[in-house]
Amino acid sequence: MRLKDYGRKPKLRKEFVNNPKLLIVGVDIGRSSHSACFGTNSTVSSKKFDFKNSRNGFKKFEFNIRKMRNTAKCNQILVGMEPSGLYWYGLYERLKKCGFSVCLANCMAVKNNRKTMHDGSSKTDPKDAYSIYDLLTQGKFFLPVERDPELAAAYRLMRKHMFLKKRISRLRNQIRGALHLSFPELNDVIKDLTLPTSLRFLQSNPTPESMMRNGKKRFMKKWQPRRRCGQWRPDKFNLIYEQAKLSIGLKDPQRIDEFEIKTMAKDLEDAVTKAQMWLDKAIELVCQRDDFELLMSMPRIGKPTATALLTAIGNIDEFEYGKQLVKLAGLDIRLYESGTSIKKRPRVTHIGSGYLRHWLYHYAMRLVAFEPDFQCLFERRKKNSPGKGAGQRALVAICDKILRIIYRILKDQVKYSSEKDKIVAAYYQQQSKLAA
């Protein structure tokens, strides 16, 4: 295996793979207890070792690691685990503080490796731990992204922000569905459910019955003041009331739809407020950093996108070339070169950070929409690869280019320059022609 095939930190990874005196520990993570398997590259010392997710349990685990190291006369320790859920973060941080090297094994690789074992497809915690141990002996592992304390805190906040954004999307869809039954005409009037006025209105008068309960005069008097109508024009409420009188929505004598929409609107308002709070705090943590200022020099990038990209990448010194960033995002190409599979189009692996891909995708969409240089590249890529999915493939190429630009400006510590970008592109184009 060539050195560059070892991914990020290739020298450290190669040191682990080629070390005959390496103690390997595979850990299957659980909520309340974990299971571990100990051994070296050649022998398995202990296939079953359970310990609780507590201080005493960790002390027991640490003692056993040091005992096994002395027994096997190993000079290095490598602990591997699956990055599934959030339970692995605590153990990972404790192991790092104790000075142990920690790596991760792909969840799908662990599952597929478990199926090849002699006892069939049965799934137990000790078997999962042994499967992780087996993958580590084969060198099939990757190292976690290293972040300094500032970036680690901002990354946690951004992940919380992403979770709340997904919740906001679900709540919007649920409210739209409830309105479709009770007051379908209101869906066309309210374009954005997350506006403060929209949320106030839905928490007060979400159904035709709730509007007409006290008559038009009291309804209009309630919503005429500027502090109440907010972004809406006063005549909009008159239109809504007239539509409520002629609505084809289902009758709701028990007021179930009204209760449901009011509750969901309150939840939506709470989620919108908290999502903005998480985002503002994350930006506050990184806005004074030099690498943040470098990213802000890129075209059409905002503070949320710059914060997300910076926290996803972590320490840029871990990467030796731009392609490693592409692999981190899961945008590297999966080749089909065997049997009838050669007729397939190559696809991206998606084995990487979905969080990084999400922000890259939306940033690439903005660049293609508003930046002439990226528009030209997008159209050229579509022309070079016609057929079904040409636009999506071209957008992946834009994401690839963005990552390589980010790598260059963070490594060289220089702000983005479109002229520099054109010079680099022309150089590589010339090299491709010479190679052909």
| Tally of domains within the chain | 3
Q: Would you state the pLDDT for residue 5? A: 47
In a 3-state reduction of DSSP, which class is residue 143?
coil
Q: Would you state the pLDDT for residue 3? A: 38
Whether 224 and 247 map to the same domain: the answer is yes
Whether 92 and 173 map to the same domain: the answer is no
Chain segment 196-240, per-residue pLDDT in tens: 999 999 999 999 999 999 899 999 888 887 777 777 888 889 999
In this prediction the pTM is: 0.86
Q: Which two tokens stand for residue 237?
A: 């409420």
Q: What is the per-residue burial (b if ≥16 Cβ within 10 Å, else e) of 4-37?
A: eebbbbbeebbebbebeebbbbbbbbeeeebbbb
CA distance 193 to 181: 17
Virtual torsion, Cα 81, 87, 92, 95, nearest 10 deg: -100
Model confidence at 169, pLDDT cuts 50, 70, 90, reads very high
Among 115, 144, 173, give the residue marking a domain's end: 144
Among 231, 248, 283, give the residue marking a domain's end: 283
Q: Would you state the pLDDT for residue 79? A: 95
- Structural domain for 31, as ranges: 3-144
Task: Give the H or E element holding residue 93.
Answer: helix 88-97
Chain segment 91-143, per-residue pLDDT in tens: 999 999 999 999 999 888 899 888 888 776 788 889 999 999 999 999 889 88
Whether 137 and 214 map to the same domain: the answer is no
Model confidence at 171, pLDDT cuts 50, 70, 90, reads very high
Q: What is the CATH number of the domain that holds 30?
A: 3.30.420.40
Whether 96 and 156 map to the same domain: the answer is no
Whether 126 and 177 map to the same domain: the answer is no
Whether 339 and 316 map to the same domain: the answer is yes
CA distance 432 to 27: 46
Whether 128 and 166 map to the same domain: the answer is no
Whether 75 and 104 map to the same domain: the answer is yes
**Least confident residue range of 227-241, 254-268, 274-288, 317-331:** 227-241
In a 3-state reduction of DSSP, which class is residue 77?
strand
Whether 275 and 336 map to the same domain: the answer is no
Task: Give the H or E element holding residue 334.
Answer: strand 333-334
Contact of 359 with 406, CB cutoff 8 Å? no
Virtual torsion, Cα 373, 375, 381, 385, nearest 10 deg: -170
Chain segment 281-305, per-residue pLDDT in tens: 999 999 999 999 999 999 999 999 9
Q: What is the CATH number of the domain that holds 220?
A: 1.10.287.4070
Chain segment 16-43, per-residue pLDDT in tens: 888 889 999 999 999 899 999 999 988 8
Among 224, 251, 283, give the residue marking a domain's end: 283
Contact of 299 with 416, CB cutoff 8 Å? yes
Whether 259 and 372 map to the same domain: the answer is no
Whether 206 and 298 map to the same domain: the answer is no
Helical H runs in 250-336? 256-286, 290-296, 303-313, 322-328
Whether 226 and 314 map to the same domain: the answer is no
